[in-house]
Amino acid sequence: MSKRAKYILGISILVLGLLAVYWWTTSESQNVILVTVDNNLDLEKVKIEFGFYNSSPGNDFDLTKNGLDKVVFKNTSRPFETICGENDFYLTYDDRYYTVLRHFIPNDFYDGIPEPHKYHFDLKMKNDSIYLALKITGQDGEVREKKLMKIETSKENFWGSLIQTTNDK
Protein backbone atom coordinates (compact mmCIF):
# COMPACT_ATOMS: atom_id res chain seq x y z
CA MET A 1 0.00 0.00 0.00
CA SER A 2 1.39 3.35 -1.01
CA LYS A 3 2.05 6.18 1.40
CA ARG A 4 -0.72 8.25 -0.21
CA ALA A 5 -3.29 5.41 0.15
CA LYS A 6 -2.37 5.00 3.86
CA TYR A 7 -2.79 8.76 4.34
CA ILE A 8 -6.25 8.76 2.70
CA LEU A 9 -7.27 5.67 4.70
CA GLY A 10 -6.11 7.29 7.96
CA ILE A 11 -8.00 10.54 7.23
CA SER A 12 -11.13 8.55 6.31
CA ILE A 13 -11.01 6.56 9.55
CA LEU A 14 -10.49 9.76 11.54
CA VAL A 15 -13.46 11.48 9.88
CA LEU A 16 -15.70 8.44 10.38
CA GLY A 17 -14.62 8.24 14.01
CA LEU A 18 -15.40 11.92 14.61
CA LEU A 19 -18.81 11.50 12.93
CA ALA A 20 -19.55 8.47 15.14
CA VAL A 21 -18.63 10.40 18.30
CA TYR A 22 -20.78 13.36 17.17
CA TRP A 23 -23.74 11.07 16.46
CA TRP A 24 -23.30 9.27 19.79
CA THR A 25 -23.25 12.49 21.85
CA THR A 26 -26.07 14.32 20.04
CA SER A 27 -28.53 11.50 19.41
CA GLU A 28 -30.02 11.32 22.89
CA SER A 29 -33.45 9.83 22.69
CA GLN A 30 -36.22 12.38 23.18
CA ASN A 31 -39.69 12.28 24.59
CA VAL A 32 -42.36 11.93 21.93
CA ILE A 33 -45.84 13.45 21.81
CA LEU A 34 -48.52 11.95 19.61
CA VAL A 35 -51.89 13.69 19.35
CA THR A 36 -54.98 12.21 17.76
CA VAL A 37 -58.50 13.60 17.55
CA ASP A 38 -61.75 12.06 16.43
CA ASN A 39 -63.64 13.24 13.33
CA ASN A 40 -65.62 15.86 15.28
CA LEU A 41 -62.48 17.74 16.38
CA ASP A 42 -59.68 19.60 14.60
CA LEU A 43 -56.04 18.70 15.32
CA GLU A 44 -54.92 22.23 14.44
CA LYS A 45 -56.84 23.58 17.46
CA VAL A 46 -54.81 21.50 19.95
CA LYS A 47 -51.96 23.12 21.88
CA ILE A 48 -49.91 21.46 24.62
CA GLU A 49 -47.55 23.32 26.93
CA PHE A 50 -45.02 21.78 29.32
CA GLY A 51 -43.54 23.05 32.56
CA PHE A 52 -44.37 23.30 36.26
CA TYR A 53 -47.87 24.26 37.38
CA ASN A 54 -47.88 26.29 40.60
CA SER A 55 -51.27 25.47 42.07
CA SER A 56 -50.92 27.70 45.14
CA PRO A 57 -53.63 30.21 44.06
CA GLY A 58 -56.21 27.45 44.61
CA ASN A 59 -57.77 27.65 41.14
CA ASP A 60 -56.74 27.43 37.48
CA PHE A 61 -57.29 31.06 36.50
CA ASP A 62 -53.57 32.03 36.45
CA LEU A 63 -52.78 28.89 34.46
CA THR A 64 -55.36 29.67 31.77
CA LYS A 65 -54.17 33.28 31.68
CA ASN A 66 -50.39 32.67 31.55
CA GLY A 67 -49.91 29.06 30.42
CA LEU A 68 -46.76 27.07 31.13
CA ASP A 69 -43.11 27.50 30.12
CA LYS A 70 -42.77 25.73 26.78
CA VAL A 71 -45.04 24.78 23.86
CA VAL A 72 -44.37 21.12 23.07
CA PHE A 73 -47.19 20.60 20.57
CA LYS A 74 -48.80 23.01 18.13
CA ASN A 75 -49.53 21.29 14.80
CA THR A 76 -46.42 19.19 15.39
CA SER A 77 -44.45 17.74 18.28
CA ARG A 78 -41.45 19.68 19.58
CA PRO A 79 -38.59 18.13 21.57
CA PHE A 80 -38.59 18.49 25.34
CA GLU A 81 -36.83 16.94 28.32
CA THR A 82 -38.63 15.61 31.36
CA ILE A 83 -37.09 15.72 34.82
CA CYS A 84 -37.38 13.51 37.86
CA GLY A 85 -40.30 14.84 39.83
CA GLU A 86 -43.21 16.92 38.57
CA ASN A 87 -43.76 17.28 34.81
CA ASP A 88 -46.93 19.20 34.03
CA PHE A 89 -48.86 19.44 30.78
CA TYR A 90 -51.43 22.13 29.98
CA LEU A 91 -53.62 21.16 27.02
CA THR A 92 -55.99 23.59 25.32
CA TYR A 93 -58.45 23.04 22.54
CA ASP A 94 -59.59 25.98 20.40
CA ASP A 95 -58.54 28.41 23.19
CA ARG A 96 -61.89 27.52 24.81
CA TYR A 97 -61.29 24.22 26.62
CA TYR A 98 -58.42 23.02 28.78
CA THR A 99 -57.06 20.45 31.17
CA VAL A 100 -53.89 20.12 33.19
CA LEU A 101 -52.07 16.89 34.00
CA ARG A 102 -49.02 15.97 36.02
CA HIS A 103 -46.71 13.11 35.15
CA PHE A 104 -44.64 12.33 38.22
CA ILE A 105 -41.34 10.60 37.51
CA PRO A 106 -39.64 9.12 40.60
CA ASN A 107 -35.98 9.95 41.15
CA ASP A 108 -33.35 7.65 39.68
CA PHE A 109 -30.60 7.76 42.29
CA TYR A 110 -27.98 6.43 39.87
CA ASP A 111 -27.96 9.11 37.19
CA GLY A 112 -31.03 11.26 37.95
CA ILE A 113 -32.02 11.47 34.29
CA PRO A 114 -35.34 9.82 33.42
CA GLU A 115 -35.71 7.61 30.39
CA PRO A 116 -37.73 9.12 27.52
CA HIS A 117 -41.47 8.53 27.37
CA LYS A 118 -44.08 8.48 24.65
CA TYR A 119 -47.13 10.64 25.41
CA HIS A 120 -50.24 9.82 23.38
CA PHE A 121 -52.97 12.44 23.81
CA ASP A 122 -56.26 11.26 22.28
CA LEU A 123 -59.18 13.72 22.20
CA LYS A 124 -62.75 12.55 21.66
CA MET A 125 -66.14 14.25 21.64
CA LYS A 126 -68.69 12.49 23.89
CA ASN A 127 -72.12 13.92 24.73
CA ASP A 128 -71.16 17.50 23.78
CA SER A 129 -68.01 17.35 25.95
CA ILE A 130 -64.38 16.81 25.01
CA TYR A 131 -62.47 14.05 26.78
CA LEU A 132 -58.75 13.38 26.82
CA ALA A 133 -57.37 9.87 27.07
CA LEU A 134 -53.67 10.08 27.90
CA LYS A 135 -51.47 7.02 27.52
CA ILE A 136 -47.87 7.39 28.66
CA THR A 137 -45.54 4.57 27.69
CA GLY A 138 -42.08 4.18 29.11
CA GLN A 139 -40.43 3.38 32.42
CA ASP A 140 -43.02 5.40 34.39
CA GLY A 141 -46.03 4.91 32.13
CA GLU A 142 -49.66 5.38 33.05
CA VAL A 143 -53.11 5.75 31.52
CA ARG A 144 -55.82 8.25 32.48
CA GLU A 145 -58.85 10.06 31.15
CA LYS A 146 -60.09 13.58 31.90
CA LYS A 147 -62.87 15.81 30.72
CA LEU A 148 -61.74 19.17 29.33
CA MET A 149 -63.18 22.17 31.15
CA LYS A 150 -64.21 25.51 29.66
CA ILE A 151 -61.51 28.14 30.14
CA GLU A 152 -64.16 30.66 31.19
CA THR A 153 -64.82 28.50 34.30
CA SER A 154 -61.15 28.35 35.38
CA LYS A 155 -61.81 30.34 38.58
CA GLU A 156 -64.10 27.52 39.74
CA ASN A 157 -61.68 24.76 38.72
CA PHE A 158 -58.54 23.27 40.27
CA TRP A 159 -56.26 20.95 38.29
CA GLY A 160 -58.77 20.96 35.44
CA SER A 161 -61.63 19.72 37.63
CA LEU A 162 -64.50 21.45 39.37
CA ILE A 163 -63.55 22.51 42.91
CA GLN A 164 -65.49 20.36 45.36
CA THR A 165 -66.68 22.07 48.52
CA THR A 166 -67.96 20.31 51.58
CA ASN A 167 -70.54 21.66 53.94
CA ASP A 168 -69.65 20.26 57.38
CA LYS A 169 -72.25 21.05 60.06
**48-104 tens-digit pLDDT:** 999 999 888 889 999 999 999 899 999 999 989 988 889 999 999 999 999 999 999
pLDDT at position 111 is 61
For 60, 92, 147, the CA distances from 165, given in Å and listed in that order, are 16, 26, 19
Give pTM, 2 decimals: 0.79
CA–CA dist 53, 8 (Å, integer): 56
Mean pLDDT over 116-127 rounds to: 96
